[in-house]
Amino acid sequence: MAYTIKVNGVANHVDVDGDMPLLWVLRDVLGLTGTKYGCGMALCGACTVHLDGVATRSCVMPVAGVGNAAVTTIEAIGATDAGRSIQRAWLDLEVVQCGYCQPGQIMSASALLASNPYPNDSAIDAAMSGNICRCGTYVRVREAIKHAAKRP
C-alpha cells in the first residue's frame, strides 16, 4: 500500500503495509534514526514524535493512521519555539547521559511546554512518566523543563 506522510514539513511517499508502525517507517524507510526503538509497546517513550504537535508513541502508531497529520521528529523539533527552549535547557542543565532516550524525552517535554508554558510538578509527572530513562536523568529532566519554562 502506498502512503504519503508529511514528516518535518516534507511529503514522503512510502510503499509499506498499513499496519507498519510509524517508528519503523521513520527509521528504516526514511532514515530518520533520531527517533528510537525501546519497547515496541508504548511503554518507554523512546519513540515519541509529534502528530500535529501532540506527543505520540510512534512504535504503536500504524502508518495508515497518520493521515494528513504533520509528523515532527527530533531532527526538526528545534525549529519550534518550545523545542528550541527545551533543547537549550537540556544543554544548560547537562541532562543527557547515554542519550538514547533523550529524543523521546525532548519530544514529550516540547509538547508539554507548547501546551502548558508553566508546568508544575504534577503536570511534568503526567507528561513525562511515559518516558523511561535507564541512566536516571529524571532529576535533571524535571529541572530542565522548569528552566525552559522560565526562559522561553
Partner 1 sequence: MNALSRRVFLQGGVAAGGGLMLGFGLPTLFGDVMAEGPSSFAPDAFIRIGSDGSVTLTMPYVEMGQGTYTSIPMLIAEELEVALSQVRLEHAPPDEKHYANPLMGGVQGTGGSTAIRAVWEPLRQAGATARAMLIAAAAKRWNVDPSSCHAELGEVVHKASARRTTYGALAGDAAQIPVPEKVALKRPEEFKLIGTPAKRLDAPSKVDGTAIFGIDARLPGLKIATLAQSPVFGGRLKSVDDTAAKAVKGVRQIVRLDDAVAVVADHMWAARKGLVALIIQWDDGPHATLSTEDIARDLEKGTLDAGAVAQNVGDVANAMTGAVTKVDANYQVPFLAHAAMEPMNCTVDVRKDGCEIWVGSQVIARAQATAAETTGLPLDKVVVHNHLIGGGFGRRLEIDGVTRAVQIAMHVDGPVKVVWTREEDIQHDMYRPYFFDRFSAGLDAAGMPIAWNHRFAGSSIIARWLPPGFNNGLDPDTIDGAIDLPYDLPNMRVEYLRMEPPGIPTAFWRSVGPSHNVFVVESFMDELATTAKQDPVDYRRVLLDKSPRARAVLLLAAEKAGWGQPLPKDSGRGVSLQFVFGTYMAQVAEVEVSKDGEVRVRRVVCAVDCGSVVNPDTVQAQVEGAVIFGISAALFGEITLKNGRVEQTNFNTYRVLRMNEAPTIEVHIVKSTEPPGGMGEAGTSAIVPAVTNAIFAATGKRLRKLPVDPAELRHA
Q: Which residues face 13 on adjacent strands?
A: 4
Among positions 5, 7, 36, 72, the unique one binding partner 1 when judged by CB under 8 A: 36
Asked if 14 and 2 touch (Cβ cutoff 8 Å), the reply is: yes
State the minimum distance, in angstroms, from the CB of residue 70 to partner 1: 17
Residue 133 binds partner 1 (CB under 8 A) = yes
Among positions 5, 102, 110, 149, the unique one binding partner 1 when judged by CB under 8 A: 102
Residue 132 binds partner 1 (CB under 8 A) = yes
Q: Pull the grid cell for residue 32.
A: 530518520
Q: Which spans of this chain sit near partner 1 (rule: CB under 8 A)?
A: 16-17, 19-21, 24, 27-29, 31-41, 43-44, 46, 73-75, 78, 87, 90-91, 94-103, 106, 124-126, 128-142
